[in-house]
A = this chain, B = another copy of it.
């Protein structure tokens, strides 16, 4: 069975590719982000494991899309996407292939939002399992994995000391709260911006300072966007930022920081360190952009540790298996990962960590299911 994977080309992805091949799939891989490819991994997959890979670190916009096209040429029966760009191509230029596809999975918050929009318009061409919605995916990958690796990327890129810094996180979703928690754990004073009052309230109760981006722009030392939306930091914010402010993004696409505005405002630009561009403002203040506003954990560090990706990719592999086994029952909708898969992955993970937990006794299970036991 042919499968097209579009994922970050890292060692962890390589592990997933090998598992799928072992399960009998004919696999083709392209990059989910122009900067996240590890070229040595790509080479090893091709040479040692006979997986077709279309991805080069730093590839330009046209090459990136030509690589997606090349992967789709493979006529996949299954897709695994990370940001929904393969699915996007299939639903626009390649609509004739939609009927061949049994199902797909989607890895990211951003991709799931896009696919639900497609479903709402009645245009979704095949069933999707939203891997991102699994607890063993988003709680661990988005929160703990991205939390640590985003901070890691910022530190590697800048060697900045976080202690004592005002660190602004835009968005208090799973990723944002992971980043916020880890920045605080390293001694930063963390500020949150949000558009959702429930999340804003939660951030405040978690001890973070909540304010608008316009207020935060004046006091922040380091900024990191994690909203999944565009134009979160833009011209009116650059105008009031402090000299030396550092800008980074850990949302899926590099649209959260308005880079065209940053470039057009600058009177001078230079590379301050590897991955760090300096933009001098007309009044002399210098703003620093990391990794061209792309996912800072993948571009400037190594992405998630293998110890988180194992759970995300277990969801991918088991969800694809589930989709093939239940192909007849699935409509052109976005489905969650079945709860049994989710729980089983957690159980296996705890076992590998050597952690024992309690099991409900029969008496306890019965009590939870009853409505007539009183005080």
A145 contacts the other chain (Cβ, under 8 Å)?
yes
> Chain B contacts of A356 at CB under 8 A?
211-212, 215
> Chain B contacts of A232 at CB under 8 A?
364
A343-375 interface mask toward B, CB cutoff 8 Å, 1 = contact, 0 = none? 100110110011111111101100111111111
- What distance in Å separates the Cβ of A209 from its nearest Cβ neighbour in chain B? 6
Most chain B CB neighbours (cut-off 10 Å) among A83, A114, A215 = A114
A205 contacts the other chain (Cβ, under 8 Å)?
yes
A34 contacts the other chain (Cβ, under 8 Å)?
yes
Are A148 and B162 also in contact (CB < 8 A) when A156-B156, A356-B212 are?
A: yes
Residue of B nearest to A120 (CB): B369
A370-B161 in contact (CB<8A): no
> Chain B contacts of A342 at CB under 8 A?
198
Residue of B nearest to A145 (CB): B161
A187-B207 in contact (CB<8A): yes
- What distance in Å separates the Cβ of A290 from its nearest Cβ neighbour in chain B? 15
A272 contacts the other chain (Cβ, under 8 Å)?
no
A185 contacts the other chain (Cβ, under 8 Å)?
yes
A299 CA to B306 CA, complexed, in Å: 23
B193-A230 in contact (CB<8A): no
Q: Quick one: which of B155, B195, B355 contacts A359, CB cutoff 8 A?
A: B195
> Chain B contacts of A163 at CB under 8 A?
144, 147-148, 205-207
Indicate how many identical chains form the complex.
4
Interface size class of A (residues with CB under 8 A): 35 or more
> Chain B contacts of A127 at CB under 8 A?
none
A306 CA to B305 CA, complexed, in Å: 27
A79-99 interface mask toward B, CB cutoff 8 Å, 1 = contact, 0 = none? 000011100100110000000
A368 CA to B185 CA, complexed, in Å: 31
Residue of B nearest to A309 (CB): B161
Pick out which of these stretches binds chain B: A15-23, A39-47, A133-141, A259-267: A133-141
B198-A135 in contact (CB<8A): yes
> Chain B contacts of A160 at CB under 8 A?
305, 307
A372-B305 in contact (CB<8A): no
> Chain B contacts of A204 at CB under 8 A?
164, 350, 353, 355
A288 contacts the other chain (Cβ, under 8 Å)?
no
B198-A346 in contact (CB<8A): yes
A140-B205 in contact (CB<8A): yes
Q: Quick one: which of B143, B201, B210, B213 contacts A136, CB cutoff 8 A?
A: B201
- What distance in Å separates the Cβ of A254 from its nearest Cβ neighbour in chain B? 8
Are A200 and B363 also in contact (CB < 8 A) when A85-B375, A193-B358 are?
A: no
- What distance in Å separates the Cβ of A104 from its nearest Cβ neighbour in chain B? 13
* 10 additional contacts (CB under 8 A) given A184-B185, A198-B342, A230-B364: A34-B375, A144-B161, A145-B161, A148-B163, A151-B186, A152-B156, A159-B305, A164-B207, A193-B357, A231-B363
